[in-house]
Amino acid sequence: MALAMRGGVSMAVWIGGVIAELDLLRRATDDTPDTSGRAKIYRELLGEAHYKGVEFDILAGASAGGLNAVLFALAQSYGVVTDSIVRSTWENDGGLWDLLRSPSDNAAADRWSGFRAVDSVLSGDGRFLTLAVTAVNRIAAAPRLSKRQPPQALSVELAATLLPDPDKQVTTGRGGFSFTRRPGGLSSAYSTIPGLGDDESAAEVARQAMALAIRSTSSFPGAFEPATVYSIDSPEEIAPNSGGKPNMDRVFPFARAATGGDTAVGTTVSGDAPFLVIDGGVFDNIPIDRAIRAIQRAPASAPTERVLMYLDPQPPAQPEPIPVPATDNAQRRVLAKQTAQLSRWLNVIRSGMSMKSRQESAEDEITYIREHNDSVLALRGRTEELAAWLGTAKGPLPSIPVSRYIQSRIGSDAQHYSEILTAPHTMLFTPPFPAEPRTPIEPLISLRIKDALAQAYTRVTPGSTAAGSDSQAQSVMTRGDVTAAIDATQFLIAWARALEGAGKDAASALKPSLYRCGAVLLQARHLTVDTALASVAATPERWTDALVDGIAAQGRLTISTEVNCALKQGNSVDDAAFYSALSPSMTASGIGFTSGADSSALLTTLWGHLDEHLAALVTISAEADEEFWNESLYRALAQNFSTNGTYTCYNIVRLIAASGGPDTQSVIRYHQITGDEPPATADSDYLKALRADAVATQLEAWLKHDTAIDAIDPQQLSEWMAKIDGLERAEDKLCGTPLARFAGFLDWRWRASDWRWGRVNAASGIVDLLLPDDPRADAEQKTRQDARRYYKKRLQKEIVAEDPDAQAIPARGLGAITDLPSSYRVGLVSRASGLVIRALQPASIFPSPVKKSVVIIGVALLRVIPVLLGLIVDPLRLLIALAATLLTSFLLPGDSETGPALWYTVSFLTVIIGGLLVLRSLAADSKWRNMNRRLEQTVTGGPHESWLGALHFAEEKTRKWRQWTAAVGVGCIAAAVITGVLTGERVVTRYQIEPLLIVWVLVAGGAITLTVRCTKVPPALAYNPPVVEGLGRRLRRRVPLVVAVVFIVAIVVTAFWGDATPPSAPIYTAVLAAVCSAVLVACSLWGWTSAAQVYTYAAPAAVLSGAIAAVFDVWVIPDSALPLTVLVPVIVWWLYLAVFLGNVKPRTSEEMGLRPTD
């Protein structure tokens, strides 16, 4: 099984849940004690599908999917169960509160740290990398619960994006990380994934590399600063001048020269300069193509079926059905409107640009699977044609001349060498070889490789006397070069697989040694022709000589005795010893390719081993008798082989070269698990309520837009409503989908819910995989469907019953930020928005001092925004702050005078607002009536009649809001009329301008709140608050009502405040201003930071505000007509926190109650 995991920010939690369930499937066939009854169910399903077990040997991921790929790989290599460790990591450490930068992240923090620029909002190296290191080390230290042996072959492919780099070898932003594990573990250079039995010092460095890869591939641009990846062409495990970071040259495809400066490949970057890497999802968020490339390299020593499983938490949403115009005139109007829009100049440009920047989709990536399968099937077709010809041919098997064979290889070899030139970081960066500084050439120049190859092959053809001919290279081609031996090895492996399909298990014993031969030959080609050509890539004139020299060098290669013994048919050397002998770790001595006295010539030895394997396959083939086998190429060869005693593997390679020959690749079966997978049953109270919540959400959307659902095509509408009823959309179930998929980071309960849904969706996907549709009789198909439904219900029931967090999971599908505790909301918005603005502060050198000053001043002014946003997200705090400011404005002295004109203006505007509120209430009533009428016409008597009951329930619940809106509108009109009529000469104000502004804010806020509530459908479920409900939460439920009452009373009281004059004294003024500023600071900080921090910041603000207010009272007000005193506490609070908000130390997540309690 190969897993391709899409990125999805916080939806990585859902992917983690899927992997936990897939891991249970993997362990279902071993003797691991498991408390879950689902393991037994999976064993039953595997048995019915005739599978002995499941292995996940290829894990490809992008962004957050890459994170899960690394953790799953480590869990397998260490024999650890993923569920408990990975789940607790997500729940405890996956919160946004902990990932946000804080003053404690800076070791050199001072009082000005909060004012300086930051590289990102979230802490990448300071927090995320630490969490990644902790997670991989926890897996390594966990007790081994799985009795299954660690996998013999494991590959992890992660997507990454490189930022622009001055190094000439970085010509594209596409990058990645590749980790592998082979038998013997880290004792061989083939392995970079640590596991059981590895030396701990080497394993620790390898885990650090994997943690850095997690940090890099998941570094969402803008959220995290770019990761610094040190990759140096050096044997050092720790990169110099990197602060202890590992040298990533064995897992990262790019590397800098150790010395830096000018090199053969043209790089001019210092050797210790890091590469800057960000989220792999920028270019490759759907890593299906990476998984396919890994599949093509993967060995399979036993009979297998290859499946590629794609995990997508939230597939692209299907468009909602829209009303169809009922008349021809309406249709013409719609068409005319669309045509007019398309003919507009800017709209054409915008449409063209959007098409140009088309987003990556899974359908695009699935094309790679289709192309792979088409290639395999086409090759099979050509092979069958050759088999038919051989089956009817008379006499011995033909012997194709070497010269003809060499010329037939030009086309296929040209493709390989062209990729060496244009993508050396992909082609040459394969285990056991580390990355090297290599500069790719332009694709246009690479077209010349075919001519160079033709010239080279002319020179190496036996007997050729062309200029530049090489006798040693000709000798190699006479015996068969490394490329021919690779083709022979693949052919013999395909032959063994065919015999396995025919029920001859004896052929399986030959495959391990054949795969070893292939590994040796691939390494030999890398050391000779591939490296020789890559070294002169920048000089096309030297390509021909390099190819000839590389082929000649193959004749001089020798292998050690240890490697030779491991290649023999039926040898007893285990895989760990073979890989250690072929390519020891960097710290070991010796190498599989040697020139010692006890070594053997590579080509002579390998061809001998291959011929022995061929003879064994011919012997086994004599006993095979299956219909597909009797029509195969292998049977035709086996029958004729006895009459051609001198026919060798090289003869067979030359014979099948024209047809392309059989390959080791097989057709890939594709399967996907998505968040759109519906639950098997909605019988539980939780799922019934969740469905009601999804229905309410859709009804609210229709109400807001007054959608004419009766004009929607009935079939489309019914299908859409069925999709919502069945919870078939990820956004109706998963808490992490809102806020651009960041919502899951806000609450551990939301992450726990998504984890559980991941397991539920995975269980359904596993059943569909093991019990696929049967194209036979309808009765058989119905039996399959019933069986799938039965198993899905059983699995879903057990998953929910076993969930340790079932009682804590929120009881609504979509979490909203308003559901979170108010202190958490205020702190989160204040911290995050402040960091966003600090990240906007320029850090580079501007060419113009004036431009730099303007930008810095502009960014500095933006710092006041987080202070306001922190109050806006909590209406109760906002009301307290406004009340404190309003009260202070009445009590502070002032000498300004305003005439009746201002009050008449306020009265007029208030009448307008009141009228709008009344109209809004009437319009909302109309929308509800229309929706009720349309829904009755559409669903009455149908399968979705329950939607009508949901609408009636929602209408009854929201009726009071429409009534309140109308009542408040009438009250505004009445208050404005009273104020306007009775104002006259009684209103001689010295201190009323500021209260008017504040009252106006209350009016606007109340109007907006009531307007939104008119068509707001109440959710069917309520969020489980993490704190005990108290007076504050009850007040917040009634904030709109309180606001409405306060602003009406405030208008009247303000109008009749009269000429009462507060005392004018510096001490009185200072105390009022100080108290007001202290209250405002407390409103901004209370709850999300400690009480000591609140006092620390409130006291200086109070002192500063009081002093300034006293100065205004003594020196400014007597000589000024402007009422500035009341603005002093507000401005001091605003500017003071704007400067020092970044220095406020937040409470820990434990103190905030943001982590699960044991």
Task: Name all contacts of 381-387 with Cβ < 8 Å and 24+ positions apart.
Answer: 382/659, 382/660, 383/633, 383/656, 383/659, 383/660, 383/661, 383/662, 384/631, 384/632, 384/633, 385/659, 386/633, 386/656, 386/659, 387/631, 387/632, 387/633, 387/635, 387/636
- The beta strands (E) that lie in 199-253 are given as 227-229, 232-233
Q: Sign of the C-alpha dihedral, residues 844, 847, 849, 852?
A: negative
**Residue 5's closest CA among 740, 738, 674, 772?**
674
d(CA 971, CA 701): 30
d(CA 801, CA 798): 5
**Residue 175's closest CA among 210, 213, 122, 209?**
213
Contacts (Cβ under 8 Å, ≥6 apart) of 627: none
Catalytic (active site) residue 774:
no
Decide the pairing of beta strands 558-559 and 58-61. unpaired
d(CA 365, CA 800): 34
Query: What is the number of residues in the chain?
Result: 1158
Catalytic (active site) residue 896:
no
**Residue 1010's closest CA among 1039, 1033, 1034?**
1039
**Residue 93's closest CA among 14, 216, 10, 204?**
10
Phi and psi torsions of 245, nearest 5°: -80, 150
Check: CB of residue 834 under 8 Å from CB of residue 117: no
Q: Is 275 helix (H, G, I), strand (E, B) or coil?
A: strand
d(CA 339, CA 260): 59
d(CA 148, CA 75): 12
- Which residue stretches of 557-621 are H helix? 561-567, 575-582, 602-621
Chain center to CA of 715: 35
C-alpha radius of gyration, the chain, whole number: 37
- Taking the CB of residue 1001, how many other CB atoms lie within 10 A of it? 16
d(CA 878, CA 362): 46
Check: CB of residue 1010 under 8 Å from CB of residue 917: yes
DSSP string, 720-760: HHHHHHTT-SGGGT-TTSHHHHTGGGG-HHHHHHHHHHHHH
Phi and psi torsions of 228, nearest 5°: -100, 115
Q: Annotated catalytic residue: which of 23, 279, 481, 530?
A: 279
One-letter amino acid at 698 equals Q
**Residue 61's closest CA among 210, 193, 218, 194?**
218
Q: Annotated catalytic residue: which of 10, 57, 63, 725?
A: 63
**Residue 129's closest CA among 226, 200, 59, 198?**
226
Decide the pairing of beta strands 275-279 and 227-229. antiparallel
H-run or E-run covering 1074: helix 1066-1085
Give the CA count within 13 Å in the CB-facing half-sphere of 740.
2
User: What tokens appear for 102 in the block?
Assistant: 């804080």
- Taking the CB of residue 847, how many other CB atoms lie within 10 A of it? 6
Give the CA count within 13 Å in the CB-facing half-sphere of 103.
17
Catalogue the active-site residues: 63, 279
